[in-house]
Protein backbone atom coordinates (compact mmCIF):
# COMPACT_ATOMS: atom_id res chain seq x y z
CA UNK A 1 0.00 0.00 0.00
CA UNK A 2 1.44 3.36 -0.97
CA UNK A 3 -0.86 5.62 0.98
CA UNK A 4 1.15 7.31 3.69
CA UNK A 5 -1.50 8.93 5.85
CA UNK A 6 -3.20 12.27 6.16
CA UNK A 7 -0.09 14.30 6.83
CA UNK A 8 1.17 13.70 3.32
CA UNK A 9 -1.99 14.95 1.68
CA UNK A 10 -3.00 18.31 0.42
CA UNK A 11 -6.02 19.53 2.35
CA UNK A 12 -9.22 19.06 0.33
CA UNK A 13 -11.80 21.70 -0.38
CA UNK A 14 -14.09 21.47 2.63
CA UNK A 15 -17.58 20.08 1.91
CA UNK A 16 -20.32 20.77 4.46
CA UNK A 17 -23.69 19.05 4.11
CA UNK A 18 -26.81 19.71 6.18
CA UNK A 19 -29.19 16.77 6.56
CA UNK A 20 -32.69 18.08 7.22
CA UNK A 21 -34.16 14.60 7.79
CA UNK A 22 -37.98 14.86 8.09
CA UNK A 23 -38.09 18.53 9.06
CA UNK A 24 -39.35 21.78 7.49
CA UNK A 25 -41.99 22.91 5.01
CA UNK A 26 -41.49 24.27 1.51
CA UNK A 27 -42.03 27.85 2.70
CA UNK A 28 -39.50 27.39 5.50
CA UNK A 29 -36.98 25.90 3.08
CA UNK A 30 -37.31 28.85 0.69
CA UNK A 31 -36.82 31.41 3.45
CA UNK A 32 -33.88 29.51 4.98
CA UNK A 33 -32.04 29.02 1.69
CA UNK A 34 -32.55 32.61 0.47
CA UNK A 35 -30.95 33.85 3.69
CA UNK A 36 -28.20 31.23 3.53
CA UNK A 37 -27.32 32.30 -0.01
CA UNK A 38 -26.81 35.87 1.21
CA UNK A 39 -24.91 34.83 4.34
CA UNK A 40 -22.48 32.62 2.40
CA UNK A 41 -21.95 34.67 -0.74
CA UNK A 42 -18.32 35.37 0.22
CA UNK A 43 -17.51 31.73 1.15
CA UNK A 44 -15.44 29.43 -1.03
CA UNK A 45 -16.28 26.06 0.53
CA UNK A 46 -18.75 23.56 -0.92
CA UNK A 47 -22.14 23.54 0.82
CA UNK A 48 -24.95 21.01 0.36
CA UNK A 49 -28.43 20.59 1.83
CA UNK A 50 -30.07 17.16 1.79
CA UNK A 51 -33.76 18.04 2.01
CA UNK A 52 -37.04 16.05 2.03
CA UNK A 53 -38.17 15.01 -1.46
CA UNK A 54 -41.15 17.38 -1.41
CA UNK A 55 -38.97 20.47 -1.29
CA UNK A 56 -36.07 19.56 -3.61
CA UNK A 57 -37.53 21.61 -6.43
CA UNK A 58 -38.27 24.72 -4.34
CA UNK A 59 -34.88 24.42 -2.60
CA UNK A 60 -33.05 24.12 -5.92
CA UNK A 61 -34.85 27.24 -7.19
CA UNK A 62 -33.90 29.18 -4.07
CA UNK A 63 -30.25 28.04 -4.34
CA UNK A 64 -29.88 28.66 -8.09
CA UNK A 65 -26.76 30.66 -8.96
CA UNK A 66 -25.20 30.13 -5.51
CA UNK A 67 -22.60 27.62 -4.35
CA UNK A 68 -25.21 25.66 -2.40
CA UNK A 69 -26.14 22.33 -3.93
CA UNK A 70 -29.40 20.56 -3.14
CA UNK A 71 -29.68 16.81 -2.66
CA UNK A 72 -31.97 14.03 -1.48
CA UNK A 73 -31.67 11.75 1.55
CA UNK A 74 -32.36 8.44 -0.17
CA UNK A 75 -33.50 6.88 -3.46
CA UNK A 76 -34.56 3.56 -4.93
CA UNK A 77 -32.32 1.89 -7.47
CA UNK A 78 -34.84 1.04 -10.22
CA UNK A 79 -35.21 3.27 -13.27
CA UNK A 80 -39.01 3.36 -12.91
CA UNK A 81 -41.85 0.93 -12.25
CA UNK A 82 -44.29 -0.36 -9.68
CA UNK A 83 -42.45 0.72 -6.53
CA UNK A 84 -45.13 2.54 -4.58
CA UNK A 85 -43.68 5.21 -2.35
CA UNK A 86 -40.18 5.20 -3.84
CA UNK A 87 -38.21 7.88 -5.73
CA UNK A 88 -35.71 7.29 -8.55
CA UNK A 89 -32.37 8.92 -9.28
CA UNK A 90 -33.72 10.55 -12.44
CA UNK A 91 -36.69 11.99 -10.53
CA UNK A 92 -34.30 13.57 -8.03
CA UNK A 93 -32.32 15.11 -10.89
CA UNK A 94 -35.53 16.21 -12.58
CA UNK A 95 -36.48 18.09 -9.39
CA UNK A 96 -33.08 19.85 -9.31
CA UNK A 97 -31.13 17.61 -6.94
CA UNK A 98 -27.46 17.01 -7.67
CA UNK A 99 -26.44 14.66 -4.88
CA UNK A 100 -27.92 12.01 -2.60
CA UNK A 101 -27.17 10.61 0.86
CA UNK A 102 -26.94 6.82 0.72
CA UNK A 103 -26.80 4.43 3.67
CA UNK A 104 -27.51 6.87 6.49
CA UNK A 105 -27.64 4.92 9.76
CA UNK A 106 -31.33 5.82 10.17
CA UNK A 107 -31.97 4.10 6.81
CA UNK A 108 -29.88 1.10 7.87
CA UNK A 109 -31.53 0.77 11.27
CA UNK A 110 -35.15 1.84 10.76
CA UNK A 111 -35.62 0.67 7.17
CA UNK A 112 -33.30 -2.35 7.20
CA UNK A 113 -31.00 -1.25 4.39
CA UNK A 114 -27.88 -3.42 4.27
CA UNK A 115 -24.60 -2.74 2.52
CA UNK A 116 -25.46 -4.84 -0.55
CA UNK A 117 -28.67 -2.90 -1.09
CA UNK A 118 -26.78 0.32 -0.47
CA UNK A 119 -24.31 -0.81 -3.15
CA UNK A 120 -27.13 -1.02 -5.71
CA UNK A 121 -28.27 2.47 -4.75
CA UNK A 122 -24.72 3.84 -5.06
CA UNK A 123 -24.31 2.27 -8.51
CA UNK A 124 -27.59 3.67 -9.78
CA UNK A 125 -26.90 7.16 -8.41
CA UNK A 126 -23.47 7.30 -10.02
CA UNK A 127 -24.73 5.99 -13.35
CA UNK A 128 -27.29 8.81 -13.36
CA UNK A 129 -24.64 11.43 -12.55
CA UNK A 130 -25.72 12.10 -8.98
CA UNK A 131 -22.92 12.73 -6.50
CA UNK A 132 -23.11 10.24 -3.63
CA UNK A 133 -22.53 10.92 0.05
CA UNK A 134 -22.06 7.38 1.35
CA UNK A 135 -22.58 7.08 5.11
CA UNK A 136 -20.77 4.47 7.20
CA UNK A 137 -20.30 3.99 10.93
CA UNK A 138 -20.47 1.59 13.84
CA UNK A 139 -23.13 1.26 16.55
CA UNK A 140 -22.45 1.80 20.24
CA UNK A 141 -22.26 -1.96 20.90
CA UNK A 142 -19.82 -2.43 18.03
CA UNK A 143 -17.78 0.54 19.26
CA UNK A 144 -17.63 -0.82 22.80
CA UNK A 145 -16.71 -4.29 21.53
CA UNK A 146 -13.75 -2.83 19.62
CA UNK A 147 -15.29 -3.73 16.25
CA UNK A 148 -15.17 -0.30 14.60
CA UNK A 149 -12.55 -1.20 12.00
CA UNK A 150 -14.16 -4.54 11.13
CA UNK A 151 -17.53 -2.84 10.64
CA UNK A 152 -16.10 0.00 8.55
CA UNK A 153 -14.12 -2.37 6.35
CA UNK A 154 -17.18 -4.53 5.76
CA UNK A 155 -19.45 -1.54 4.99
CA UNK A 156 -16.92 0.04 2.62
CA UNK A 157 -16.06 -3.20 0.81
CA UNK A 158 -19.68 -4.14 0.17
CA UNK A 159 -21.07 -0.66 -0.49
CA UNK A 160 -18.38 0.15 -3.05
CA UNK A 161 -18.05 -3.20 -4.79
CA UNK A 162 -18.02 -2.90 -8.57
CA UNK A 163 -17.52 0.90 -8.42
CA UNK A 164 -14.54 1.92 -10.56
CA UNK A 165 -11.82 4.30 -9.35
CA UNK A 166 -13.10 6.85 -11.91
CA UNK A 167 -16.64 6.60 -10.54
CA UNK A 168 -15.26 7.13 -7.03
CA UNK A 169 -14.50 10.74 -8.02
CA UNK A 170 -18.21 11.36 -7.46
CA UNK A 171 -18.30 9.63 -4.08
CA UNK A 172 -17.95 11.45 -0.77
CA UNK A 173 -17.68 9.35 2.39
CA UNK A 174 -19.36 10.34 5.64
CA UNK A 175 -18.08 8.61 8.77
CA UNK A 176 -20.91 8.82 11.29
CA UNK A 177 -20.53 6.78 14.47
CA UNK A 178 -24.12 5.81 15.25
CA UNK A 179 -23.58 6.54 18.95
CA UNK A 180 -22.83 10.16 18.12
CA UNK A 181 -25.89 10.84 15.94
CA UNK A 182 -28.57 12.86 17.69
CA UNK A 183 -26.98 12.21 21.09
CA UNK A 184 -24.78 15.25 21.85
CA UNK A 185 -21.98 12.73 22.24
CA UNK A 186 -19.57 13.84 19.51
CA UNK A 187 -16.60 11.61 18.82
CA UNK A 188 -13.43 13.21 20.12
CA UNK A 189 -11.28 14.63 17.33
CA UNK A 190 -8.79 11.80 18.01
CA UNK A 191 -11.40 9.05 17.70
CA UNK A 192 -12.85 10.63 14.58
CA UNK A 193 -9.43 11.11 12.97
CA UNK A 194 -8.45 7.48 13.67
CA UNK A 195 -11.63 6.23 12.00
CA UNK A 196 -11.14 8.58 9.04
CA UNK A 197 -7.57 7.42 8.61
CA UNK A 198 -8.75 3.83 8.67
CA UNK A 199 -11.44 4.57 6.05
CA UNK A 200 -8.84 6.20 3.82
CA UNK A 201 -6.46 3.26 4.18
CA UNK A 202 -9.29 0.88 3.31
CA UNK A 203 -10.23 2.95 0.25
CA UNK A 204 -6.56 2.83 -0.78
CA UNK A 205 -6.63 -0.97 -0.55
CA UNK A 206 -9.92 -1.22 -2.44
CA UNK A 207 -9.58 1.49 -5.09
CA UNK A 208 -5.96 2.67 -5.09
CA UNK A 209 -4.02 5.34 -3.25
CA UNK A 210 -4.92 8.17 -5.63
CA UNK A 211 -8.65 7.63 -5.08
CA UNK A 212 -8.04 7.44 -1.32
CA UNK A 213 -6.04 10.63 -1.30
CA UNK A 214 -8.63 12.58 -3.24
CA UNK A 215 -11.75 11.31 -1.51
CA UNK A 216 -13.52 13.81 0.72
CA UNK A 217 -14.35 12.15 4.07
CA UNK A 218 -16.89 13.99 6.19
CA UNK A 219 -17.46 13.50 9.89
CA UNK A 220 -21.03 13.42 11.20
CA UNK A 221 -22.61 13.02 14.64
CA UNK A 222 -23.52 15.90 16.98
CA UNK A 223 -21.47 18.48 15.09
CA UNK A 224 -22.11 22.06 16.23
CA UNK A 225 -20.50 25.46 15.95
CA UNK A 226 -18.41 24.79 19.07
CA UNK A 227 -16.77 21.54 17.95
CA UNK A 228 -16.40 22.31 14.23
CA UNK A 229 -12.91 23.80 14.38
CA UNK A 230 -11.28 20.99 16.40
CA UNK A 231 -12.76 18.37 14.07
CA UNK A 232 -11.84 20.10 10.82
CA UNK A 233 -8.26 20.68 11.83
CA UNK A 234 -7.70 16.91 11.69
CA UNK A 235 -5.82 15.99 8.50
CA UNK A 236 -8.24 13.30 7.35
CA UNK A 237 -11.47 15.17 8.11
CA UNK A 238 -12.44 17.10 4.97
CA UNK A 239 -16.00 18.07 5.73
CA UNK A 240 -19.00 17.63 7.98
CA UNK A 241 -22.45 16.06 7.76
CA UNK A 242 -24.72 17.96 10.09
CA UNK A 243 -28.19 17.08 11.34
CA UNK A 244 -29.73 19.23 14.10
CA UNK A 245 -27.28 22.11 13.78
CA UNK A 246 -28.25 22.52 10.10
CA UNK A 247 -31.88 23.24 11.00
CA UNK A 248 -31.37 26.76 12.26
CA UNK A 249 -29.86 29.39 10.05
CA UNK A 250 -27.79 30.81 12.88
CA UNK A 251 -25.99 27.59 13.81
CA UNK A 252 -25.52 26.37 10.23
CA UNK A 253 -24.11 29.74 9.14
CA UNK A 254 -21.81 29.82 12.15
CA UNK A 255 -20.43 26.39 11.25
CA UNK A 256 -19.86 27.47 7.65
CA UNK A 257 -18.09 30.64 8.79
CA UNK A 258 -15.87 28.57 11.09
CA UNK A 259 -14.99 26.29 8.16
CA UNK A 260 -14.24 29.25 5.93
CA UNK A 261 -11.89 30.69 8.53
CA UNK A 262 -9.87 27.43 8.78
P1 LIG B 1 -26.81 15.15 14.25
O2 LIG B 1 -27.17 14.20 13.00
O3 LIG B 1 -25.86 16.20 13.73
O4 LIG B 1 -28.13 15.72 14.69
O5 LIG B 1 -26.18 14.28 15.28
C6 LIG B 1 -26.19 13.84 12.07
C7 LIG B 1 -26.76 12.97 10.98
O8 LIG B 1 -27.69 12.20 11.26
O9 LIG B 1 -26.31 13.02 9.82
Indicate which residues carry an active-site annotation: 104, 176
Give 11's pLDDT tier (boundaries 50, 70, 90).
Answer: low
Our CA angle for 175, 177, 181, nearest 5°, is: 110
Cα dihedral value 127, 157, 16, 243, nearest 10? 110
Give 260's pLDDT tier (boundaries 50, 70, 90).
Answer: confident
| Cβ within 8 Å of residue 140, ≥6 positions away | 178, 179
Q: Considering only CA atoms, which residue is closest to atom 1 of ligand 1? A: 243
Q: What percent of the chain shows pLDDT beyond 70? A: 96
101 CB near ligand 1 (under 6 Å): no
**33 phi and psi angles, rounded to 5 deg:** -70, -40
Using the atom order of ligand 1, give the atom closest to the CA of residue 241. 9
Instruction: Give 88-132 pLDDT, tens digit per residue.
Output: 999 999 999 999 999 999 999 999 999 999 999 999 999 999 999
The pLDDT value given to residue 223: 96
Give 8's pLDDT tier (boundaries 50, 70, 90).
Answer: very low
What's the predicted TM-score (pTM) here?
Answer: 0.95
Dist. CA 130–CA 71, nearest whole Å: 9
One DSSP character per residue, 148-201 reads HHHHHHHHHHHHTTT--TTGGGGEEEEE--GGGTTSS-PPPHHHHHHHHHHHHH
One DSSP character per residue, 23-41 reads ---HHHHHHHHHHHHHHTT
The pLDDT value given to residue 4: 47
Helix residue ranges per DSSP H, 69-130 = 89-95, 105-110, 115-127
Tell which one of 180, 184, 243 to mutate to probe ligand 1, the residue whose CB is within 8 A of the most ligand atoms. Answer: 243
Amino acid sequence: MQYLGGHMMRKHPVFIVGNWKMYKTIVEARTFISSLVLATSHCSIQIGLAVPFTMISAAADAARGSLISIGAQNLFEAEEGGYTGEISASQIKDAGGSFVLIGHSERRQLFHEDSLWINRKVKKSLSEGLRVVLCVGETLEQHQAGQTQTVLRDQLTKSLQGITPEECENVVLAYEPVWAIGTNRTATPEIAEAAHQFCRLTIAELKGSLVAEQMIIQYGGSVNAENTAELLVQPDINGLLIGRASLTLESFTKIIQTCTAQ
